[in-house]
Structure 1
Amino acid sequence: MKDTPGWASPGSAPSDGQEPGASGPADPTDRPSPTEPADQPGPGPQGAADPQSAGSQWSEQQPPPGQWSAPTGPAGSGPPAPSPPPPSPGWGAPPPPGAGGHGPGGFRAYGTPGHPAWGGGWGGPPPAAKPGVIPLRPLGVGEILDGAVSTMRTYWRTVLGISLTVAVVTEILVILLQGLVLNDTSTAALDDPSSSPGELTRAMGEAMLSSGAVLLISLIATVAATALLTTVTSRAVLGRPVTTGEAWRDARPQVVKLFGLILLLPLIAAAVVFAGALPGILVAVFGNADGGVALAVLGGIAAGVVALWLMIRFSLASPALMLEKQGVVKSMSRSVKLVRGSWWRVFGIQLLAGIIANIISAIVVIPFTFLAAALGGEGVVGFLNGEGSNLGWTFLIISGVGSVIGSMITFPINAGVTVLLYIDQRIRREALDLELARAAGVQGYGTDAGSGG
């Protein structure tokens, strides 16, 4: 049997001068007992046969010490058993005589030098190389979350600089949009049961327009933060720092494609949900209104489940697009391939990361929101009761400060977890750890150290 690094095949190799399968020296139990007359008495206290005689049962080529011991018998009936050899470095002490072999006095194939006992003296495989924020092997949930936080902590100047810049620019645009434009829109008709269909339509259109404008600004901010932080996290895996300028130069050729991808994914989800609710809408318009509404709700829920399933399958498309320099469609197909068979794991990790990031963000944002409401004129009670549709500048500025701090936390965590999930899935499926080790300059990784892929 061919040995492989890290373990030894059971049994011992044939003695020198013997072919495999040939009969070896006589078993010690074939030796004449002291109570039986020897065939040819020879010198020695026990009357053992002369090794040079033709009828001898013993060969000159004896097994090396430590692989066998003399048979058990009455005191003085034979030579003493050889003492066990000293333990070899790194393999632990051998077992006591008679343990781990074929019985008392038998061959001790396991536990002897060169044949370590399975589960005993072997210390396990060597630890995986860790040139950066994660070890180069398949990752656990805690290691992925820790890697995202370690990237923030190790490269905080670059990470927080990117997050702060994107968050400040985003909030300035949102505050100006809400203060100068959206405060003039009126959605009171949506809360008035006596509103005419025209008023409801106009109010709904204004609400959708204002929400869409804020969503578009947030989408652009997400694209910029994801593009830059993906580069930072990928370098952090190799243990290499990167400046904001270097991250931008590396990410700039893919920013337009990333924007198209991030814009396309919500459109796909919305189209799936609308397709599921469409039969109910048609029934409500041309037939039974109550039945149509119920059908639309059920169809929308079922379609929402399908949309969620699709979004998780496409969730690794962003790092695939940025790191592999792929197009939009190719990056989506790469994500589907990487997530296949691991949908629940990817979903669970991203859900957990999102919950943690939003809880931390809420701890920061909520106090600023109440402070803004208290200083904004309507008071906290009026804010909670929804009094006053216009948001004053004081409220917008103070709440915006809280939103900036919250975004500085959520951007790096969400982007870091997504990138590390992508790297983890490629390590599991494509042995990416070998390429990462070579890129990081780890010597001998994948030969004597083994690969985690």
Structure 2
Amino acid sequence: MTDTPGWASPGSAPSSEGREPGASGPADPADRPAPTEPAPQPGPDAQGPGSKWSKEQPPAGQWSAPTGAPSPHQAPPPPPPGPGWNGGQPGGPGQGGYGVPGGGYGGPPPGYGGYGTPGGYPAWGGGWAGPPPAAKPGVIPLRPLGVGEILDGAVSTMRTYWRTVLGIALAVAVVTDTCLVLVQGFFVNDARTSLDSRTATFDDVYRSLRESMIGTGIVTVISAAAVIVATALLTTITSRAVLGRPVSTGEAWREARPQIPRLAGLLLLLGLITVGVIAVGAVPGFLVLLSGGSDIGGSALFALGILGAVLVAVWLAIRYYLAAPALMLERQSVTKSMSRSAKLVRGSWWRVFGIQLLAWLIANIVSAVITIPFALIGAAVGGNGMDDILGTNGGHVGWAFLIIRGIGSLIGTTLTLPISAGVTVLLYIDQRIRREALDLELARAAGVQGYGTGVPGPVPGS
């Protein structure tokens, strides 16, 4: 006989002799003789043989048993629906095994700390909903990020702080595209005309090359300076957006200004490294061609050297891809920021390369979608048709085409520059979260209460 207070309700049939411990419900009709006459009804205070119930019971309505044994003429209730431990599984309520007395472990009792208690995780039998979501004070959740979350965070930063972000990007685009149009109209057109002329002398060729190099140098220097300033400001804005804190252009400038000279030195050094690697790869083939060796062998060696140098340059570019945000956000020197980037990228080179390549493809596709219609309109307005686009009109490009195409390029740069800068910063933050638990510091900086005391959120696929 089993007597388990709380698991059997008053009025249920007592267990017969020889029953297995933990079995619920009355004995089968075949195990007992049929009654010959009706049994007298006991009074309220009567105690039958074998009864274990006390004369003094709690008043009705003050308690209820968690599970009641079914009456002899009532079918056991079905198990509760749901994907929990007991839902639809053997051992659920009303079945032998898990979840009934004597049938195995049915989950922690009420009041047990942790699972199944107020303030804990979902109770046994109620379904497992997974760990709580990560805190998200800003544009990204504070946990390791997936590729889509990095791209979405960059777009969300531009959408949330569009006045500041687009204002900075527009200023950079106006400077760079205006210089490009002017150089194209005043320097490159004359240089192409001189080179394409059948009567061009050596002095004409030298002068056109010199003008082309001067114009290209001017555009490069101005564009580099504008990109450096834009990178510094957008890095600061994105880092604040992660914490959910807005920042104005003036505040971003005051915070980023001390690091701009170092950022310029870093980008200059990375550019020199890239040029140096490609030059070293091209030297052997170039020397073979100068020495009068086989043209085929020299050309093949030159091509292989350039290809190998490009691969090495790409590897170095990804290795130091996170140096700029490390320099800006950690206030590091040029060499320290490069070593920090190498440490963060180590073991994740292909992941960083894939995300950067994806962001580059998206930015160029968006820019092309915007720029190509303007180029077609400019070609139609200029009167030269496809000659302006293909450059088959003697090297000269009309001003109408240059200006209208420049407007399209300005719009494309304004929309894509914040996305590229935002992906770089968010990828840096993601790598630090994965390797250095930066999410704890970010949560404290954002004022998130109690962050880091529970189970972290799931890590999405990369």
Deviates more, 1:262-271 or 1:425-434: 262-271
CA distance in 2, matches of 1:164, 1:119: 57
- 2:67 is equivalent to residue 69 of structure 1: no
Q: Could you say which residue in structure 2 is the equivalent of 1:6?
A: none
Q: Offset of 1:45 from its aligned partner?
A: 9.4
Q: Offset of 1:357 from its aligned partner?
A: 1.0
Q: TM-score normalized by structure 1?
A: 0.75
Q: Offset of 1:372 from its aligned partner?
A: 1.8
Would the alpha carbon gap of residues 47 and 447 (structure 1) be closer, same or farther in structure 2, given more than 3 Å must change?
closer
Residue pairs, 1:204-353, within 5 angstroms? 206-286=211-291, 287-353=293-359
CA distance in 1, matches of 2:390, 2:185: 20
CA contact (8 A) 2:139 2:157 kept: yes
CA distance in 2, matches of 1:243, 1:452: 34
Residue pairs, 1:359-374, within 5 angstroms? 359-374=365-380
Q: Offset of 1:379 from its aligned partner?
A: 2.5
CA contact (8 A) 1:188 1:203 kept: yes
Q: Offset of 1:373 from its aligned partner?
A: 2.2
What SS does structure 2 have at the residue aligned with 1:181?
Answer: helix
Q: Offset of 1:47 from its aligned partner?
A: 8.0
Structure 2 counterpart of 1:394, one-letter code: A
CA contact (8 A) 1:423 1:432 kept: yes
Q: Offset of 1:122 from its aligned partner?
A: 2.8
Deviates more, 1:431-440 or 1:211-220: 211-220
From 396, 399, 412, the equivalent of 2:418 is 412
CA distance in 2, matches of 1:298, 1:203: 31
Deviates more, 1:204-213 or 1:298-307: 204-213
What SS does structure 2 have at the residue aligned with 1:185?
Answer: helix
Residue pairs, 1:157-236, within 5 angstroms? 157-186=163-192, 189=195, 206-236=211-241
Would the alpha carbon gap of residues 122 and 292 (structure 1) be closer, same or farther in structure 2, given more than 3 Å must change?
same
CA distance in 2, matches of 1:373, 1:214: 23
Structure 2 counterpart of 1:366, one-letter code: I
CA contact (8 A) 2:193 2:396 kept: no
Q: Deviations over 1:370-408 (max 9, x none)?
A: 222222242234542521323333222212111110110
CA contact (8 A) 2:187 2:212 kept: no
Aligned residues: 388
CA distance in 2, matches of 1:195, 1:256: 44
Structure 1 counterpart of 2:312, one-letter code: V
Q: Could you say which residue in structure 2 is the equivalent of 1:380?
A: 386
Q: Could you say which residue in structure 1 is the equivalent of 2:454?
A: 448
CA distance in 1, matches of 2:17, 2:234: 85
CA distance in 1, matches of 2:246, 2:434: 25
- 2:342 is equivalent to residue 389 of structure 1: no
CA contact (8 A) 1:70 1:79 kept: no
CA contact (8 A) 2:84 2:125 kept: no
Residue pairs, 1:430-441, within 5 angstroms? 430-441=436-447
Q: Could you say which residue in structure 2 is the equivalent of 1:8?
A: none
Would the alpha carbon gap of residues 125 and 295 (structure 1) be closer, same or farther in structure 2, given more than 3 Å must change?
same
Would the alpha carbon gap of residues 269 and 193 (structure 1) be closer, same or farther in structure 2, given more than 3 Å must change?
farther
Q: Offset of 1:272 from its aligned partner?
A: 1.0
CA distance in 1, matches of 2:320, 2:124: 44
CA distance in 1, matches of 2:281, 2:168: 39
Q: Alignment RMSD, CA only?
A: 3.6
Q: Deviations over 1:302-340 (max 9, x none)?
A: 121111011001111111111111111111111111111
Q: Could you say which residue in structure 2 is the equivalent of 1:132?
A: 138
What SS does structure 1 have at the residue aligned with 2:347?
Answer: coil
CA distance in 2, matches of 1:168, 1:45: 90
Would the alpha carbon gap of residues 105 and 218 (structure 1) be closer, same or farther in structure 2, given more than 3 Å must change?
same
Q: TM-score normalized by structure 2?
A: 0.74
Q: Deviations over 1:335-354 (max 9, x none)?
A: 11111111111111111111
Would the alpha carbon gap of residues 208 and 120 (structure 1) be closer, same or farther in structure 2, given more than 3 Å must change?
farther
- 2:409 is equivalent to residue 403 of structure 1: yes
CA distance in 2, matches of 1:91, 1:293: 68
Structure 2 counterpart of 1:98, one-letter code: G
CA contact (8 A) 1:433 1:451 kept: no
Q: Could you say which residue in structure 2 is the equivalent of 1:428?
A: 434
CA distance in 2, matches of 1:296, 1:360: 35
Q: Offset of 1:261 from its aligned partner?
A: 1.4
Would the alpha carbon gap of residues 321 and 379 (structure 1) be closer, same or farther in structure 2, given more than 3 Å must change?
same
Give aligned-pair identity as a percent. 60
Structure 2 counterpart of 1:108, one-letter code: Y
Q: Deviations over 1:188-216 (max 9, x none)?
A: 64x79998988777655554443333222
What SS does structure 2 have at the residue aligned with 1:128?
Answer: coil
Q: Deviations over 1:112-132 (max 9, x none)?
A: 655678897332111000001
CA contact (8 A) 1:136 1:437 kept: yes
CA contact (8 A) 2:131 2:458 kept: no
Deviates more, 1:320-329 or 1:263-272: 263-272
CA distance in 2, matches of 1:451, 1:258: 35
- 2:112 is equivalent to residue 107 of structure 1: no
Unaligned runs of 5+ in 2: 3-13, 33-49, 53-63, 69-78, 87-91, 117-122
Q: Could you say which residue in structure 2 is the equivalent of 1:98?
A: 96
CA contact (8 A) 2:140 2:153 kept: yes
CA contact (8 A) 1:71 1:105 kept: no
